[in-house]
Amino acid sequence: MVSYRVMIKDVIKKSDVLLEVIDARFPDETRNSEVERDVARARKPLIIVLNKCDLVSKENLGKTKSRLSKIAPTVFVSGRDGFGKTILRHRILEVAGIKGRDILVGSLGYPNTGKSSVINTVCGKHSAGTSSISGHTKGVQLIKAGSRIRFIDTPGVIPFGENDEYMQGLLGIKDSTHLKDHVGVALKIIGKLCSENKTAIESFYNITVGNEDSYDVLELIGRQSNFLKTKGEVDENRAAVKIINDWQKGLLIV
């Protein structure tokens, strides 16, 4: 098994353009400065793809886009509903500046940010099948995306310490059946929602949030969902699992 770092360097070397696919809900946490540096060193054009834009309010997206545009051309996309696919295709052709042959586009990013979905979105329904590049790690695949563009899909970089369960939960790298501290992860989700889009959590769970802390909000959601134990106390774990599942299914917008 080739190390991830070697694989990334190789993809950068082969590609004409690199996409850094990040989760629009966590732009800073899912950016990888090391990968960005490697791309800059190789003097290859980089496009930052803010994926999962369907899960972020327009206001937050606008702020993130203007901030990241200072680093590299930034496009927001939804691998779920296809938003932004035409703009991304144009951007790729523009930054590559290559005529007369196919452009090879490497798609890099943390696990689960939607690297494969972004590629499928640009390919459209009638995309060509995939084929392994011989001599590379099993996970690296070459995908033809209509005329002029070919993608290299890569497996995700493991971003955090093995035990950073909170980020693994927030980014959907582990689902609730694989997380241990459900309440801890749910409190992080609540904290993020309360600071970035309180009305989304209020309307989704039919609650009103004042100055309560995340723990109180968890209790409110549990009570509202009627997740009670025999003595009438809130079943926090059950409420936490519901919040994690709702979040990971993309039902809550930040």
Rounded (10°) CA dihedral 248, 249, 253, 254: 10
- With CB under 5 to 8 Å by kind, the binding choice for 111 among ligand GTP, Mg ion, none is ligand GTP
- With CB under 5 to 8 Å by kind, the binding choice for 250 among Mg ion, ligand GTP, none is ligand GTP
- With CB under 5 to 8 Å by kind, the binding choice for 244 among ligand GTP, Mg ion, none is none
Helix axes of 214-224 and 198-205: crossing angle, nearest 10 degrees: 20
78/116 with CB nearer Mg ion: 116
15/51 with CB nearer ligand GTP: 51
**Count of other CB atoms within 10 angstroms of residue 207:** 15
112/214 with CB nearer ligand GTP: 112
Residue 116 CB, shortest distance to Mg ion, in Å, is 3
55/186 with CB nearer ligand GTP: 55
User: In angstroms, what CA-CA distances link 78 with 18, 30, 107, 129, 223?
Assistant: 18, 16, 15, 21, 34
Q: List residues near ligand GTP by CB under 6 A.
A: 51-52, 54-55, 78-80, 109, 111-117, 155-156, 250
Residues numbered 85 to 144 that lie near Mg ion (CB under 5 A) are 115-116
Residue 32 CB, shortest distance to ligand GTP, in Å, is 13
Residue 234 CB, shortest distance to Mg ion, in Å, is 38
- With CB under 5 to 8 Å by kind, the binding choice for 192 among Mg ion, ligand GTP, none is none
Between β-strands 149-153 and 103-108, what pairing exists: parallel, antiparallel or unpaired?
A: parallel
- With CB under 5 to 8 Å by kind, the binding choice for 113 among ligand GTP, Mg ion, none is ligand GTP
Residue 107 pairs in a beta bridge with 19, 153
DSSP string, 122-141: HH-TT---EEEPTTS-TT-E
Region of 103 (left: φ > 0; alpha: ψ -120 to 50; beta: rest) is: beta
Check if the beta carbon of residue 23 is closer than 8 Å to that of residue 192. Answer: no
* Separation CA 239–CA 182 (nearest Å): 9
- With CB under 5 to 8 Å by kind, the binding choice for 64 among Mg ion, ligand GTP, none is none
45/159 with CB nearer ligand GTP: 159
* Separation CA 32–CA 157 (nearest Å): 9
150/223 with CB nearer Mg ion: 150
Q: Where do contacts with Mg ion occur on this chain (CB under 5 A)?
A: 115-116
